[in-house]
Amino acid sequence: MLLETERLAMALLQPQDWMLFQQVHQDEQSMAWIGAVPDDKELQKRFNERLLPWFVTSYHMLCLVVRQKQNGEAIGLLGANAEWYPHRQVEVGYAFLSQFHGQGFGSEALAALCEYLLQQCDFHKLKAHVVEGNWPSRRILEKNGFLLEGVLRDNYLLRGKWKNDWVFGRLG
């Protein structure tokens, strides 16, 4: 599987992508809205789970490595977690190394993933949960046609504090 945009190429996570996976999850800025930096054992477990082959009906996450086309540098991760039956819905997510924030890579990568999930995989609805206050992530979703559907109060425990989640959706 390969998704491409003008500046980016996205391919399935491979065993040789461990360093990137580790860097993203140990980048304090990148993890600020996601959660605590996981310990090595937990991180290795997550990595191994994301290496499993992915199908539309899979119960585990699709994980793509995002690379710049011009130099092949890995800059982040993009994912989708499906609820195919009976609702044909999928939750999307992304995390980029902090030095690549603010350059439009997240929006560009998500656009390609959305097109793939809606056109090739025939999902009915794309979803995303974002911790309230994470404005950069909210802008990425809104640029890609996601609408705010509501707020879940005290829905996510982030660094020992309960936070509200913004819930976004995009129909196919």
Q: Count CB-CB contacts under 10 A for residue 47.
A: 17
Which strands, in side-by-side order, build the sheet including 161-171?
Answer: 2-4, 8-12, 62-68, 74-83, 89-96, 125-131, 161-171, 147-158
| Statement: the pTM of the whole predicted model exceeds 0.85 | yes
Q: What is the CATH number of domain 2-171?
A: 3.40.630.30
pLDDT tens for the chain, residues 1 to 172: 899 999 999 999 999 999 999 999 999 898 889 988 888 999 999 999 999 999 888 888 999 999 999 999 999 999 999 876 678 899 999 999 999 999 999 999 999 999 999 999 999 999 999 999 999 999 999 999 999 999 999 999 998 999 999 999 999 8
Spatial contact of 17 and 74, defined as CB atoms under 8 Å apart: yes
